[in-house]
Amino acid sequence: MTTLETVRARIDHPVIDSDGHHVEFLPLVKDYLREIAGTGAVSGFEQFEQASALGRRIDATTRRQLNMTRMPWWGLPTRNTLDRATAMLPRLLHERIEALGIDFAVLYPTYGLIPTHLDDEALRRSTCRAFNQYAAECYGEYSDRLTAAACIPMHTPEEAIEELDHAVGTLGLKVVMMAAYASRPYQGEELPRGARWLDFFGFDSPHDYDPVWKRCEELGVSPTFHSTGSGWGSRSSISNYVYNHVGNFAAAGEGAARALFLSGVPWRFPKLRFAFLEGGVAWACSLYADILGHWEKRNRDHIGHYDPAKLDRGKLEALFGEYAPAAFRERLERIDESLALLSDPEEDRTALDEFARCEIEGPDDLRDVFTARFHFGCEADDPLNAIAFQKHLNPRGARIKAVFSSDIGHWDVPDMEEVLPEAYELVDKGLLTEEDFRDFVFGFPVSLWTGTNPAFFRGTAIEDAVEAIRPSVSAA
């Protein structure tokens, strides 16, 4: 593997890490929480600290009955004590960040990934606020190279807007991590405990989230999503964390991206840039191709190909008379039994255009969302990052905006100094060009953060380098 020093010597541009992690010092977070909401809130949060130990006391049968999936365990590096301390200590990370080959880092929480999805509203909102206070007060003085993300709960538009105003307007944070979905119980007293559905804030939501996206535009923050898909569907093992973890961030990101797209959010709020983090980009290339394929066959002009009213019954019956076996012909008067399923002539014709919320006049309008508005966080060691840049593979020559995301602080980065060389391996193997790599670690991150907020990098150590390329990035 090419060394860190060699990589830095080869490139002539900054490296922006759009998804590293800090590990919070919980005694301070709890003190903030106590000031905000009292001792009861601290006790409520501490139940989650104890969840792993409590789970070990419960037998497998009971865990299955309670739908207690295997939680993350041993999720932080320990043998490399310097790296563990670096993730916890803001000044140490600030001191080391350039030596890691990173010029500017956006830091997402670790323990703060929990509160946006808590069921209890009071605990959810107060805990998010405590973590946001921690992020602002502990990382604010290192803003030339580091910025920490705020936790934004999304169970209702009102709570999201309230915390957006506090985190961005009051605390001065400029990155927001939004819950990608809300897990809502089905209505009904007789339903089992686990009867829930996932609301991705689109057209089937009980709430209108357009005010949230509007407030993001007004505040100049890009909505970014960093939620887990563990515990859903097949990812619900009671004994194996790896089984639950594989592909889980991609599953959550895909649900959010699909809902936002088909709900028309990127068109109604053109100033916003969105990011779906830690799931890689292979799923995004697949989603882009899949939506394009569906649009080409099921758009408002093409859907008539499947209209039951367009079926020529006379011709069909004549063909049956010529080609059908005797068993078919004997039952020909019952042919309607075989025609209505999946082809119901009574469908609501006012709802046939399922792309009605999207301002799509042609396939390029669809491509532009995935090549301009949407961004996808990719860990350094993912070999499928290269797919995003393969214009000959992606429909209509698309280069999907993969953004470098180190994931420092977590178990998949046992040595922080190896992250940038791992990312550069795709260049060494001929899977990315130097131009691709530049976009991956610099151009596309600039697109994400300055596309919504042109002043995002003002006052940082890379301000001049960003301003030099921002006009071309904005025009792309």
| Residues linked to residue 375 through DSSP beta bridges, in sequence order | 275
Q: Check if the beta carbon of residue 46 is closer than 8 Å to that of residue 61.
A: no
Reading the block at residue 371, the tokens are 């090549």
Residue 71 has pLDDT above 90, yes or no: no
Q: Fill in the amino acid letter for 199.
A: D
pLDDT value of position 472 = 83
**Burial of 267 per CB tally in 10 Å (0-12, 13-18, 19+):** middle
Please report the pLDDT score of residue 225 as a whole number: 98
CA distances for 201 relative to 88, 182, 372, angstroms = 33, 8, 21
**424: number of Cβ within 10 Å:** 27
SS (H, E, C) the chain: CCCHHHHHHHCCCCCEEEEEECCCCHHHHHHHHHHHHCHHHHHHHHHHHCHHHHHHCCCHHHHHHCCCCCCCCCCCCCCCHHHHHHHHCHHHHHHHHHHHCCCEEEEECCHHHCHHHCCCHHHHHHHHHHHHHHHHHHHHHHCCCEEECEEECCCCHHHHHHHHHHHHHHCCCCCEEECCCEEEECCCCCCCCCCEEEECCCCCCCCCCHHHHHHHHHHCCCEEECCCCCCCCCCCCCCCHHHHHCCHHHHHHHHHHHHHHHCCHHHHCCCCCEEECCCCCHHHHHHHHHHHHHHHHHCCCCHHHHCHHHCCHHHHHHHHHHHCCHHHHCCHHHHHHHCCCCCCCCCCHHHCCCCCCCCCCCHHHHHHHHHHHEEEEEECCCHHHHHHHCCCCCHHHCCCCEEEECCCCCCCCCCHHHHHHHHHHHHHCCCCCHHHHHHHHHHHHHHHHHHHCCCCCCCCCCHHHHHHHHHHHHHC
Query: Of 263, 250, 286, whose CA–CA distance to 210 is shortest?
Result: 263
pTM over 0.75: yes
Q: Is the pLDDT of residue 281 over 90?
A: yes
Name the least confident of 64-73, 161-170, 264-273: 64-73
Percentage of the chain lying above the pLDDT 90 cut = 88
List where CATH 3.20.20.140 sits in the chain. 13-297+358-475
Task: Look at residue 474 and tell me whether its pLDDT is greater than 80.
Answer: no
Residue 28 has pLDDT above 80, yes or no: yes
CA triplet 369, 371, 373: central angle to 5 degrees? Answer: 50
What pLDDT sits at residue 193?
A: 64
Largest CA distance in the chain: 84
Q: What is the pLDDT of residue 473?
A: 81
Give me the pLDDT at residue 14, please: 98
> If pLDDT is split at 50, 70 and 90, which confidence band does 476 have?
low
Stretch 18-41: mean pLDDT: 98
Phi, psi of 401 (to 5 degrees): -85, 85
Q: What is the mean pLDDT of the chain?
A: 95
pLDDT band at 475 (very low <50, low <70, confident <90, very high): low
Which residue would you say has higher pLDDT here, 359 or 50? 359
CA angle 239, 245, 249 (to 5 degrees): 150
Per the CB < 8 A criterion, the answer to whether 31 and 45 are in contact is: no
Q: Give tens-digit pLDDT for 313-371.
A: 999 999 999 999 999 999 999 999 999 999 999 999 999 999 999 999 999 999 999 99
pLDDT at 9 over 70: yes
State how far the Cα of 386 lies from the Cα of 436, in Å rounded to an integer: 9
Q: Confidence class of residue 102 from pLDDT cuts 50, 70 and 90?
A: very high
Span 182-205, mean pLDDT? Answer: 86
Q: Inform me whether the pLDDT recorded for 393 exceeds 80.
A: yes
Mean pLDDT value of segment 166-192: 91
Query: What was the pLDDT predicted at 94?
Result: 98
Q: Average pLDDT for residues 174-180, to the nearest whole number? A: 98
> Taking residues 67-96, what's their average pLDDT?
94
pLDDT at 189: 65
Give CA torsion, residues 258, 395, 386, 430, to 10 deg. 180
Instruction: Supply the pLDDT for residue 57.
Output: 81
Overall average pLDDT of the 38-54 stretch: 89
Of residues 234, 119, 220, 236, the one with CA closest to residue 179: 119
The domain 13-297+358-475 is placed in CATH, from the list 2.60.120.460, 3.30.70.20, 1.10.287.1060, 3.20.20.140, at: 3.20.20.140
- The string of pLDDT tens digits covering residues 220-261 is 999 999 999 998 889 989 999 999 999 999 999 999 999 999
Q: Decide if pLDDT at 194 tops 90.
A: no
